[in-house]
Amino acid sequence: MSMQPLSAEPTGWRALVRMAFANRSFLVGFIITALIAAMALVSFVWTPYDVTHLVVADRMKGLSAEHPFGTDHFGRDILSMIMVGSRNSIAVALVAVGIGMGIGVPLGCWAAARGGWIDEALMRFNDVVFAFPALLSAVMITAIFGPGAINAIIAIGIFNVPVFARVARAGALSLWPREYVLAARASGKGKALITIEHILPNIASILLVQGTIQFALGILAEAGLSYLGLGAQPPMPSWGRMLFDAQTRMMVAPHLAIFPGLAIVITVLGLNLLGDGLRDMLDPKLRRQR
Amino acid sequence: MSLLEIENLRLDIGDTSILKDIDLTIEQGEVMGLVGESGSGKSMTALTVMQLLPEAARAQGRVTFDGIDILSAPEAAMNKLRGDDIGMVFQEPMTALNPVKTIGEQVAEGIRWHTGANRADAEQTARQILDRVGLPEAKFPLARYPHELSGGQRQRVVIAIACALKPKLLIADEPTTALDVVLQQQILELLRDLVDERKMGLLLISHDLAVVADMADRITIMRHGEVMEDGETARTLSEQVHPYTRQLAQASMHVPARKRHATAAATADAPPLLSVENVIRDYPGRRTSLLRKPAPFRAVDGVSFSLRAGQSVALVGRSGCGKSTLARMVLALDRPTGGAIRLDGAEVSALGEDALKPHRRKMQVVFQDPYGSFNPRHKVERLVGEPLHLLERKPSAAERREMVADALHEVGLQPRDMDKYPHEFSGGQRQRISIARAIITRPRLVVADEPVSALDVSIRAQVLDLFADLNDRLGVAYLFITHDLTVARAITDEVMVMHEGRIVEEGRTGEVLDNPQSDAAKALVAAAPDLHRALRRRLAEQG
């Protein structure tokens, strides 16, 4: 008796929701990510205090009812700063992932479809980009072109390109010899059309999972750049910069470092859980074993 | 007392009933054939004996092996039995071996674990058993890795692992399904010799009645998790008392009724639909030196043949003989290194993708695997309508649905099936969808690459009927690629035998298969399992 090959089956929305509830890491990751995103959205219309408003008299206050997370060395409300800072982190990471996917996925698909020297050249170029230490190079790029959120986005985005190119190429290569792709070729469809109709939908899930992981890495990278003063510039609050400001006052006011640090950790953790959960949900092999 | 006794076995996984009231016994030195179509519970029965069932499975009843109650035996006791007194051979030799361990290690592993022998002794035993299964150390040292062996050789290693400790019972689950007929015969002979030599019991699971008829002393026929009939092989299969036994036997010898033989011959003077002229295909060989260019591997070596409109031709040969490579070149999915392929007078092998488009409409393809040949994310309408891309004028949505409905109707499916996904269909239905996709542009040639070898016998018979019917009604010419001579005989007018990249024999199907001339064809014919022949032999033995 032959086993039925495992195939990704299209599933209705209801089945998807049921699966999501059965998958704990997806559920937890999704809730955390949704909360962070909601926090960023709320910060556009409302924050407890104005983050540009300095009240020197209230500087470095501890936790209190008025300032649940305390205040910083200029007397700004830390909760408000974290809320506004999440905007920046999410925007930078999101656009960086977008750049990575937007350039990397077509490159990877092209390499897989064409093969031969184009594939070889693209992948060796990829290897070269991989060989640069990503964060250090991002530091270099922002140092040359000047600090700021836009340059941080570009610097982080560039190093996402080879990641997505590689994942897309690997996925696409395993699909090209499939019989349904051969049948499409026998139907006279060109490589571009086959890539859009048959390859992309079938590698979308692995790209999505990689996307969440790169998103988490993007948040970390952005925090690193702003910590070095190369990301978002003051008065725009950012988590990395808050950590930098906190480090000389660690002994006096540890809450200055703890809350932005926790924000980074929880966001990254949530995204990683989301990615793990998505992978389990979208991989039909793992799904059957449940 | 029998070696293995299964009584009233009942198996449920979750709320689904898998096996009901299974009774089965195997004596020492006896071959028991377990036959049934996919999903009949054959493999589950075997896994119950091994206690390798999935977590959620619950078994009731009694399974006794050599006096041990298997169903209540603790895991530790089962670990002692598995691989020692009960050996198992799996279907797929590719996945049954660990690719990062040498064959010596893999055979010796079980010996060391069960007997506590030291490495040197275990390797000595491994050497002996590998020699016994036809892998002598002089040619196949223990340090070989599985990927350095062919499929048949790997299956020998799997058998060596299963038989290393002289088990009392060997369970072989479709041990030859992944192999071509010549290898199949060799492996079956090896199993039979081992059984005779060591007085082992053998539980041979197969969907192929001819294989079982040839091998088994007694036979158990299963369907939907129940035993339909059991008894002495020759009598059960020749008397066919149970209707399901008869149905299986007839399906496995089914020959579709065809009317076109005469018309195909009448147009013999017309120019050929397809002509393949001296086609060569080289693949780059493995590089042995950085500087030297690797010697190419010649998969197809100077093949020439022609095919007339409406003609049905079989291309048979062992696995790796180049038949699938040839098929891809005919379909213009791959380019020949040398030679020319003409379809309807146009040299398709020299055309670019754009210039090919009008010619592609005249040829379509049906693949072997009814699961792998569809994009799982598309609905049937889109899958079947895919070749409509080849039409000069894009059909409107309504026309498109109409054409898909027509094609589905031709292959015996309902027009409303077009809104379903491929996973909602059974294997046989999927192969019908595959055929619908192939005929929607009314091609003149359909290349079918092992189109029925993944199907159960009764479904295979229906699909063969469909092929014959389409040939009659639509005049489609077929190039049928197969290693199964029964299929070739059932559906084709002429046959070409391919061996190591060349066509070594061709002629009318019946003549070539009844009276093969070349060595390759003789080997294929001799190795092909044949239910009639096996039963005649068995009945003759019994006198």
Residues in chain B within 8 Å Cβ distance of A178: 372
**Which residue matches tokens 């996984």?**
B13
CATH number at residue B460: 3.40.50.300
Query: What is the C-alpha separation between B60 and A11, in angstroms, rounded?
Result: 35
- Residues B358-400 have pLDDT tens digits of 899 899 999 887 777 888 888 899 999 999 988 888 888 899 9
Query: What is the C-alpha separation between B472 and B410, in angstroms, rounded?
Result: 12
| Contact criterion met (CB below 8 Å) for B450 and B317 | no
C-alpha neighbours within 13 Å on the C-beta side of residue A167? 22
C-beta atoms surrounding B514 within 10 Å: 10
Of B373, B377, B390, the CB nearest to A183: B373
Residues in chain A within 8 Å Cβ distance of B367: 179, 182-183
> What is the per-residue pLDDT for B117?
86
> What is the per-residue pLDDT for A215?
92
> What is the per-residue pLDDT for A281?
79
The answer to whether the CB atoms of B333 and A198 lie below 8 A apart is no
> What is the per-residue pLDDT for A45?
87
**Order of strands across the sheet with B274-283?**
B297-307, B274-283, B338-343, B346-347
**Order of strands across the sheet with B312-317?**
B363-366, B445-449, B477-482, B312-317, B494-499, B502-508
> What is the per-residue pLDDT for A4?
39
Same domain as B460, residue B335? yes
- Residue ending a domain, choose from B167, B200, B229: B167
Asked if residue B84 is part of any domain, the answer here is no
Of the candidates B121, B119, B133, the one whose C-alpha atom is nearest the C-alpha of residue B163 is: B133
pLDDT(B207) > 90: no
In the stretch 187-206 of chain A, residues with CB closer than 8 A to chain B read 187-190, 193, 197-198, 201-202
CB contact set of B2 (below 8 Å; sequence gap of 6+):
B25, B26, B27
**Order of strands across the sheet with B226-232?**
B86-89, B169-173, B201-206, B31-35, B218-223, B226-232
Residues in chain B within 8 Å Cβ distance of A287: none
Query: What is the C-alpha separation between B211 and B190, in angstroms, rounded?
Result: 14
- The shares of helix, strand and coil residues in chain A, as percent rounded to the nearest 5, are 75, 0, 25
Residues in chain B within 8 Å Cβ distance of A1: 36, 38-40, 42-43, 173-174, 205, 207
The answer to whether the CB atoms of B437 and A7 lie below 8 A apart is no
Residue range B52-72: mean pLDDT, rounded: 87
> What is the per-residue pLDDT for A6?
38
CA distance B173 to chain A (A): 8
Cβ density class A190-226: b for 16+ within 10 Å, e for less: ebeebbebbbbebbbbbbebbbbbbbbbbbbbbbbbb
Of the candidates B234, B231, B227, the one whose C-alpha atom is nearest the C-alpha of residue B213 is: B234
What is the pLDDT of chain B when averaged over all its residues?
87
> What is the per-residue pLDDT for B543?
65
Range of the domain at B420: 374-442
Of A7, A186, A202, the CB nearest to B331: A186
> What is the per-residue pLDDT for A262?
92
Residues in chain B within 8 Å Cβ distance of A188: 353, 356-357, 360-361, 387, 389-390
Same domain as B459, residue B334? yes
B175 prior amide bond cis, ω within 30: no
Asked if residue B263 is part of any domain, the answer here is no
CA distance B515 to chain A (A): 34
> What is the per-residue pLDDT for A268?
93
- How far from A11 is each of A17, A29, A175, A210, B420, CA to CA, in Å? 10, 22, 21, 21, 12
The answer to whether the CB atoms of B177 and A2 lie below 8 A apart is yes
Query: What is the C-alpha separation between B307 and B342, in angstroms, rounded?
Result: 10
> What is the per-residue pLDDT for B260?
58
Query: Quick one: angle between helices A78-114 and A149-175, nearest 10?
Result: 40
Of B174, B328, B373, the CB nearest to A180: B373
The answer to whether the CB atoms of B367 and A182 lie below 8 A apart is yes
Same domain as B405, residue B381? yes
pLDDT-based confidence at residue B259 (cuts at 50, 70, 90): low
**More confident of the two residues B310 and A54:** B310
CB contact set of B428 (below 8 Å; sequence gap of 6+):
B370, B455, B456, B459, B462, B463
- Residue ending a domain, choose from B442, B457, B486: B442
Same domain as B234, residue B142? no
pLDDT-based confidence at residue B261 (cuts at 50, 70, 90): low
pLDDT(B122) > 50: yes
> What is the per-residue pLDDT for B274?
92
The answer to whether the CB atoms of A188 and B38 lie below 8 A apart is no
Of the candidates A170, A38, A39, the one whose C-alpha atom is nearest the C-alpha of residue A109 is: A170
| Segment-wise mean pLDDT, segments of 10 residues, chain A, 290 residues | 40 72 87 93 86 77 80 84 90 92 95 90 90 83 83 87 94 89 87 91 89 92 88 84 86 86 93 88 55
Same domain as B450, residue B539? yes
- Residues B144-159 have pLDDT tens digits of 888 888 888 888 899 9
Query: What is the C-alpha separation between B507 and B526, in angstroms, rounded?
Result: 18
- Both tokens assigned to B524: 């294929």
What DSSP letter does each residue of B445-468 carry, written as one string? EEEEESTTTTS-HHHHHHHHHHHH
Of the candidates B100, B89, B70, the one whose C-alpha atom is nearest the C-alpha of residue B4 is: B70
- Both tokens assigned to A108: 């990877």
Asked if residue B172 is part of any domain, the answer here is yes
Residues in chain B within 8 Å Cβ distance of A185: 333
Give the three-state DSSP class for B512. Answer: helix
Asked if residue B67 is part of any domain, the answer here is no
Domain A38-52+67-289 has what CATH class?
A: mainly alpha
Same domain as B182, residue B240? yes
Q: Name the domain count of chain B.
A: 4
pTM: 0.79
- Residue ending a domain, choose from B442, B464, B481: B442
State whether residue A115 sits within 8 Å of chain B by CB: no
**CB-defined contacts A:B, below 8 A:** 85
State whether residue A289 sits within 8 Å of chain B by CB: no
Same domain as B145, residue B175? no
Asked if residue B42 is part of any domain, the answer here is yes
Same domain as B161, residue B103? yes
Task: Tell me how far apart the terminal alpha carbons of chain A are, to the nearest angstrom.
Answer: 22
Residue range B421-427: mean pLDDT, rounded: 83
| Contact criterion met (CB below 8 Å) for B319 and B180 | yes
> What is the per-residue pLDDT for B497?
93
Same domain as B432, residue B472? no
CB contact set of A134 (below 8 Å; sequence gap of 6+):
A156, A159, A221
**More confident of the two residues B286 and B441:** B441
> What is the per-residue pLDDT for B26?
93
- Both tokens assigned to B531: 């239910």
pLDDT-based confidence at residue B538 (cuts at 50, 70, 90): confident
pLDDT(B483) > 80: yes
> What is the per-residue pLDDT for B267?
56
> What is the per-residue pLDDT for A101?
95
> What is the per-residue pLDDT for B253?
82
pLDDT(B266) > 80: no
CA distance A34 to chain B (A): 28
Same domain as B537, residue B450? yes
CB contact set of B331 (below 8 Å; sequence gap of 6+):
A186, B363, B365, B447
- Both tokens assigned to B138: 């002089």
Same domain as B462, residue B354? yes
The answer to whether the CB atoms of A1 and B454 lie below 8 A apart is no
Give how far the C-alpha of residue B440 lies from the chain's centroid of Cα atoms, to the nearest Å: 27
Same domain as B208, residue B181? yes
| Contact criterion met (CB below 8 Å) for B349 and B340 | yes
Rg (CA), chain A: 22
Query: What is the C-alpha separation between B321 and B74, in angstroms, rounded?
Result: 48
- The helix or strand, by DSSP H or E, that contains position A107, with its residue range, turns out to be helix A78-114
